Amino acid sequence: MKKYNFFAGPAILPQSVLQKASEAALSFGDMGLSILEISHRSKEFTAVLEEARALAKELLGFGDDYETLFLQGGASSQFFMIPMNLLNEGETAAYVDTGNWSAKAINEVENFGNLKKLASSKDENYTYIPKGYDIPSDAKYLHLTSNNTIYGTQHHSFPDTDVPLVCDMSSDIFSRPIPTDKFGLIYAGAQKNMGPAGTTLVIVRKDVLGKVQRKIPTMLDYNTHIGKASAFNTPPVFPIYVSLLTMRWVKEMGGVGQMELHNEEKGSLLYDEIDRNPLFVGTARKEDRSLMNVPFVMAPGYEALETEFLERCTNAGCMGVKGYRTVGGFRASIYNAMTKEGISKLVELMQAFENEKG
């Protein structure tokens, strides 16, 4: 039976990427050695790292005034590295709270400077993206989380401001074009839409760095890694290589513009069924719905059927549909590599369940 991976992360990868990665795990190129055991200083891996850094910028459209880094420690390490590198004591950074991960980023700021929380959607269990807030002109940066995996909301536009945007794009990186000129820094853990867990992409505009007076630990200074082209210490070789394969796949598929069309088609197919089917209800506001993570619950009066529907999904090969504990119900994560076939399979299950139980 074919399996469809709806897990939120570590998440689905294209089948062609998995095939090439498995081949490289046995023998990489003409080396006759596994990529898992080659030197990170070898010319073969240096070429991988250079291509990965360049391709990330190319796909998103960042110019030469930006640097690309592949780091370790996950996006969670960026929560403190960002204010450590960008914010002096006494200066203010602005944050918008749209879910668990933005809240964790907010918790780190006051270790390094002043926090100004501009808006939050916590009052409605993070089911919407706040809008219309004022951005202080003296803020060093404005931090956003572009997509919220747990609550299924997504920024479909970004604020117009002269303040540099800093954005956690862990779960929707490479899923759509972005207005690159607005961003001072973006970051993304690989494991949701780019590659396996183990590396974190950071793209940073060079002119936002080097302005803090504090002594930054060597490994936590972005300029350390810029100076050594992401190879100051041993980089996570295999996650970077698989991320490169995924970026090549995105380019072969037509780039992030084509990815956006692909994701909009998939999202519409699933959301239309949620809205039509009397057994299910979406949890996020319609105008803020994510094209990466789709949470939904049983409709009022049908709550007792939740466990049975989850079992139907698992038995039919739709894996990872169980919702996060703070939302409940179900969550279908439909990242770039999820096929329309996978969405159609889930929709068929929902329709069959309606015919039987509705």
Check 192, 221, 266, 322 and give the catalytic one: 192
* Residue 91 pLDDT > 90: yes
The one catalytic residue among 97, 140, 168, 288: 168
Residues 209-219 pLDDT 10s: 999 999 999 99
What pLDDT does residue 288 have?
98
Q: Provide the pLDDT for residue 123.
A: 97
Give per-residue pLDDT as tens, 225-265.
999 999 999 999 999 999 999 999 999 999 999 999 999 99
Q: What is the mean pLDDT of residues 327-346?
A: 98
How high is the mean pLDDT of the chain?
97
Contact 297, 330 (CB under 8 A): yes
Instruction: Say yes or no to pLDDT of 349 above 90.
Output: yes
Dihedral pair phi/psi, residue 117, rounded to 5°: -85, 115
123 included as an active-site residue: no
The mean pLDDT value for 51-61 works out to 98
Q: What pLDDT, on a 0 to 100 scale, did the predictor assign at position 331?
A: 98
Above pLDDT 70, what percent of the chain?
Answer: 100
Mean pLDDT (whole number) for 181-207: 97
Quick check: 290 and 153 in contact, CB under 8 A? yes
Segment 52-78 shows an average pLDDT of 98
The single-letter code of the amino acid at 30 is D
CATH architecture label of 4-10+255-357: Alpha-Beta Complex (3.90)
101 is catalytic: yes
The two domains 4-10+255-357 and 15-252 share their CATH topology (first three levels equal): no
Indicate the domain borders of the chain: 4-10+255-357, 15-252
DSSP-H helix ranges across 169-289: 222-227, 237-252, 255-276
Which stretch of DSSP H or E encloses residue 203?
A: strand 200-205
Which one of the listed residues 97, 101, 140, 322 is annotated catalytic? 101
pLDDT digits (tens, 9 = 90+) for 135-189: 999 999 999 999 999 999 999 999 999 999 999 999 999 999 999 999 999 999 9
Cα 13 from Cα 48, distance rounded (Å)? 19
103: part of which helix (H) or strand (E)? helix 100-109
pLDDT of residue 50: 98
The answer to whether 168 is a known catalytic residue is yes
Residue 94 phi/psi, 5° resolution?
-100, 140
Reported confidence tier of residue 195, pLDDT bands at 50, 70, 90: very high
pTM of the model: 0.97
Residues paired with residue 202 on neighbouring β-strands, in sequence order: 69, 187
15-252 — its CATH code? 3.40.640.10
- Res 358: pLDDT: 80
The answer to whether the beta carbons of residues 101 and 293 sit under 8 Å apart is: no
